[in-house]
Amino acid sequence: MISLTVNQKTYQLDVDPEMPLLWALREVIGLTGTKFGCGVAQCGACVVHLNGEAIRSCVTKCDRANHQNITTIEGLSMDNSHPLQLAWNEENVPQCGYCHSGQIMSAAVLLRENPNPTDRDIDDAMAGNICRCGTYPRIRKAIHLAAKLNGGKGNEK
C-alpha cells in the first residue's frame, strides 16, 4: 500500500510503488488538474509539490512520495486566491490552458524562495515548463504581478 497525503487529505492506494505519481493522482485519486505532457520530465505539465518542491510527477515514483506531503494545483488555494492564480487571471495568461497547472506550481516555488524575482530569476525557475501556445510573455508579467500582490516590490522592467 502507498500512503499519499495530497492537499492535506491522506489516501491509501493499492498501486505498484513504481507507478509514477502522476498516474496515481490522475487515474487513481481522480485529481486531473495535474497534466500529462511528455512523460520524461521535459515539459513540466505534471509539476506538483512534494514536501514543497516542484517535482515532476511523471518520473517520480509513488514510492518516493509514500508518506509524503503532496500539493497539486487543486490544493494550491481553496478558492483560486493564491497570488499567482489572481495574477494569472488578471493578466489573462492562458490560451489553451493545458500547461498552466504546472507553470503555476513551478512559479509558486520561485516566489516562496525569491519574493522579488527578476526576469533572470524567472528564466532560471521557469525554463523547465513548456507552453506550446507561447504565453511566456504573460507568464513573466503575471509572476511579477504576483510578487507585488504578495507584498513584494516586483522587479518588472
Partner 1 sequence: MKYENQKTGYEKTLILFVISLAITFMALGLNVAKTPSISKIPTKIIKDSLASVTAFKKVYRVLMSPRCMNCHPAGDIPLQGDDSHLHTMSPKRGSEGKGLYAMKCANCHQPGNSPGLHTPPGNPNWHLPPANMKMIFQGRSPDQLARQIVDKKQNGHKNLQQLIEHADDGLVLSAWNPGEGRTKPPLSHSEFKRAWIEWLNKGGYAPKKL
Partner 2 sequence: MEEISRRHFIASATTAGLALWLGLTSEGNLYKAIDSASVNFSPFILIEANGQITLFNTKPEIGQGTFQSFPALIAEELEVSLDQVIIKQTNGEYQFGNAQRSGGSASIRNSYLPMRKVGAAAREVLIKAAAKTWNVIESECFAQKGSITHAPTQRKLSYGSLIEEAAKFDLPENPKLKDPKDFKILGKMSKRPDIPLKTNGSAEFGIDAIVPGMLYAVVYRSPVIGATLVSYDATEVLKIPGVVKVGTAERIVGVYRYTGVAIIATSYWIANQAKEKLVTHWDNHGFDKFNTRDYEAHLRTLANQTGIVEKAVGNVDDVNLPPESYLEAFYETPIIAHHALEPLNCTAQVNGDRVEIWTSTQVSSAVTGKGAGDMHGQIGFTPENITLHSLFVGGGFGRRLSMDYIVEAVNVAKLVEQPVKVIWSREDCTQQGPFRPMTFSKLKGGISAQGALISFEHKVISPSLQQSRDSTFDPSKVDLAMMEGISEQAYEIPNMRNSYVRADLHIPISPWRSVTSSTVSFAQESFIDELAYQAKKDPMDFRLEHLKKTSDAKKVLLKLKELSNWETKLPKGSGRGVAVWEFFAGLGGQVVEVTCHKDKTITINRVIAVIDLGEVVNPDNVRNQMEGSVIMGLGAVMKGGINFVNGKVAEHNFYDSPLLRINEIPKIEVHILTDGGKVKGVGEPGLPPFAPALANAIFAASGKRFRKLPFELRL
Q: Which residues bind partner 2 (CB under 8 A)?
A: 19-20, 23, 26-28, 30-40, 42-43, 45, 72-74, 76-77, 80, 84-85, 88-89, 92-101, 104, 122-123, 126-140
Instruction: Sort 67 into a burial class: Cβ within 10 Å, 0-12 / 13-18 / 19+.
Output: exposed
Rounded CA-CA distance 39/56 in Å is 9
Residue 6 contacts by C-beta under 8 Å, 6 or more apart in sequence? 25, 29, 31, 70, 71, 72, 75
Cβ closest to partner 2, residue 10 vs residue 127: 127
CA dist 83 and 79 (Å) reads: 11
Which listed option, partner 2, partner 1, none, makes contact with residue 59 (CB within 5 to 8 Å by class)? partner 1
Q: Please, which of residues 40-99 interact with partner 1 by CB under 8 A?
A: 40-42, 44, 47, 53-56, 59-61, 64
Out of 34, 85, 106, 155, the residue judged to bind partner 1 by CB under 8 A: 106
Interface residue with partner 1 among 125, 139, 142, 147 (CB under 8 A) is 125
CB 83 within 8 A of CB 146: yes
**Nearest distance, CB of residue 61 and partner 1, angstroms:** 7
127 near partner 1, rule: CB under 8 A: yes
Does 126 interact with partner 1 (rule: CB under 8 A)? yes
* Among 58, 139, 152, CA closest to 113: 152
